[in-house]
A = this chain, B = another copy of it.
Amino acid sequence: MHLILIEHIQKFVTLEPAEIEILDSALRVSKLKKKELVLQEGQICNDMYFVVKGCLRQYIINTKGSEQTLQFAIENWWMTDYLSYHNLIPSHFYIQAVENSEVIVIEKSSMELLLLQIPKLERYFRIVAQKSFGAGQMRIKFLFTMSAEERYHHFNTLHPEFVQRVPQYMIASYLDFSAEFMSKIRSGKV
């Protein structure tokens, strides 16, 4: 049983036993090794990933050839490239496991089938997407109004466990400053 996802869904909609049955048999778990890629730039994103355990990140490779993390997903978060997924266009992003991770993968075709069989899931995914969009708006607010140092302390206060788990250079690029500058912030040299 894919309990973690089913419980997450039931926070937003109530499923009948029969629906849980359908859902459960449609899901499959995939174990990802640290650094394993599930999406690469140029590919069409055909899956949605729900993190059961571990951590994924979405990143790009910029013109200087270095990686910039745009998004993290930890337990109970969905990760995908919605634009590539919906419009069938090549993705601009990489999606990678930051740690050894366990994810539930739902392919697009199987997702469409599920949404027909269990229309309540439309509601669940609507709410998830709307909340994610709301979180994204807050992120832009923080990026626009806080200095690098403020963003670091804010993130560190909000997600202290996370800062331990993930390499600093990934967090630095997620907060839109260089790894070197982050090092200076941490040591108080700025």
Of the candidates B81, B86, B115, B173, the one whose C-beta lies within 8 Å of that of A137 is B81
A136 adjacent to B136 (CB under 8 Å): yes
Which chain B positions have C-beta within 8 A of A115? 123
CB of A41 to closest CB in B, whole Å: 11
- Identical chains bound together, number: 2
Determine chain A's interface SS by DSSP, over half rule.
Answer: helix
B126 adjacent to A70 (CB under 8 Å): no
CB of A48 to closest CB in B, whole Å: 10
Which chain B positions have C-beta within 8 A of A68? 144-145
| Residue from A84, A127, A136 whose CB has the most chain B CB atoms within 10 Å | A136
B135 adjacent to A83 (CB under 8 Å): yes
Which chain B positions have C-beta within 8 A of A62? 144-145
